[in-house]
Amino acid sequence: MTSMNRMDRRRFAAKLATGLAAATLAPHAARAAAACRPEALGTARVLPVKTDGGLFVGRKSYPGTLPLGPREVVLTFDDGPLPGPTDHVLAALRQECVRATFFLVGRMAHSAPALARKILAEGHTVGHHSMTHPMTLAQLPAERARADIEAGFSAVDHALYGSYSGTPRTPFFRFPGFGDSEELNRGLAARGIGIFGCDFWISDWNDMTPEAQLALALRRLDRTGSGIILMHDTRPQTAAMLPAFLRELKHRDFKVVHMQPA
Ligand SMILES: [Zn+2]
């Protein structure tokens, strides 16, 4: 073996080590997948969602929904991040190896940027839910409504990525209280921002015990059969019942689909 060959081998080894280090550090997805317990629920598939020209999904508000098969569900959580309940929700999702979508409120992300980044780092999709969560954006003067939505995009992207380009990095939006309007919808659609309603909710804005919340969520799940589920990661009763709910999804042979921007 020549000295040149030894040099090449050393270079190759160094390169390999760098590559391995990068592979170990970079994809949170790979790390999470490696840590999945065999009995975990797991994410069945990723659904790339195109929003060019607009998208309106969720049968509670719109005629259509995502292309999901029977017993396929998309988990969504609104109104966070809130230290405490959101951490518990993340732990439950991690334990069962499932990915969800969080629609963050701008001022909440501004108050808890590290928690917003933790949601992203754990592989979840992070969408938008306005800046101050006005219950009916459609009843505000259009200019104020647009400004609140825009401030939300900016606050969430700043928390997550340190900057805002003028277009949200993940073009997914959910109206607070599903209070949309033709005019606001048109404006968002023209910017390629998808609007997400839901196919069923678990009414977790009403106070109830985690046991009652679990029973209600399972009844709605069985009745609806598939679709986008709306929950709130800010609600302690939801965080408390989530581990049992995810185990029940597995027992009842439901599949979790993770939506991502196409
Ligand atoms: Zn909300």
Same domain for 28 and 56: no
Cα of 188 vs centre of ligand 1, distance in Å, is 18
Same domain for 50 and 15: no
User: 67 and 224 in contact (C-beta within 8 Å)?
Assistant: no
Same domain for 76 and 4: no
Cα of 190 vs centre of ligand 1, distance in Å, is 23
Cα of 244 vs centre of ligand 1, distance in Å, is 23
More confident residue, 180 or 23: 180
Check whether 31 has a pLDDT greater than 80. Answer: no
Quote the CA–CA distance of 124 and 41 in Å, as a whole number: 16
Q: How many domains does the chain have?
A: 2
pLDDT-derived band at 28 (thresholds 50, 70, 90) equals very low
Same domain for 99 and 30: no
| CA-only gyration radius of the chain, Å | 21
Same domain for 235 and 111: yes
Alpha-carbon distances of 42 from 62, 79, 95, 101, rounded to whole Å: 29, 24, 9, 15
For 202-240, write each residue's pLDDT tens digit: 999 999 999 999 999 999 999 999 999 999 999 999 999
Cα of 133 vs centre of ligand 1, distance in Å, is 6
**How confident is the model at residue 2, as a pLDDT?**
39
Same domain for 59 and 24: no
Query: Which residues have C-beta within 8 Å of that of residue 171, sequence separation ≥ 6?
Result: 51, 191, 192, 193, 194, 261
How many Cα atoms within 13 Å fall on the side-chain side of residue 52? 3
Cα of 101 vs centre of ligand 1, distance in Å, is 13
Check whether 30 has a pLDDT greater than 90. Answer: no
Cα of 3 vs centre of ligand 1, distance in Å, is 66
Same domain for 214 and 181: yes
For 125-169, write each residue's pLDDT tens digit: 999 999 999 998 999 999 999 999 999 999 999 999 999 999 999
For 167-208, write each residue's pLDDT tens digit: 999 999 999 999 999 999 999 999 999 999 999 999 999 999
Quote the CA–CA distance of 261 and 127 in Å, as a whole number: 10
The rounded percent of the chain whose pLDDT value lies above 70 is: 87
Same domain for 22 and 63: no
Domain range enclosing 47: 42-261
Same domain for 46 and 30: no
The CATH code of the domain that includes 118 is 3.20.20.370
**How confident is the model at residue 34, as a pLDDT?**
56
Quote the CA–CA distance of 221 and 95 in Å, as a whole number: 21
Check whether 23 has a pLDDT greater than 70. Answer: no
Same domain for 8 and 108: no
Cα of 27 vs centre of ligand 1, distance in Å, is 30
**How confident is the model at residue 140, as a pLDDT?**
93
pLDDT-derived band at 36 (thresholds 50, 70, 90) equals confident
Cα of 103 vs centre of ligand 1, distance in Å, is 8
Query: Which residues have C-beta within 8 Å of that of residue 161, sequence separation ≥ 6?
Result: 169
Q: Picking from 14-18, 120-124, 170-174, 237-241, which range would have the lowest pLDDT averaged per residue?
A: 14-18
Cα of 31 vs centre of ligand 1, distance in Å, is 31
Alpha-carbon distances of 197 from 53, 68, 226, rounded to whole Å: 17, 15, 14
For 54-63, write each residue's pLDDT tens digit: 999 999 999 9
Check whether 25 has a pLDDT greater than 80. Answer: no
Q: Picking from 6-15, 91-100, 179-188, which range would have the lowest pLDDT averaged per residue?
A: 6-15
Cα of 75 vs centre of ligand 1, distance in Å, is 15
Same domain for 93 and 26: no
pLDDT-derived band at 21 (thresholds 50, 70, 90) equals very low
Same domain for 214 and 93: yes
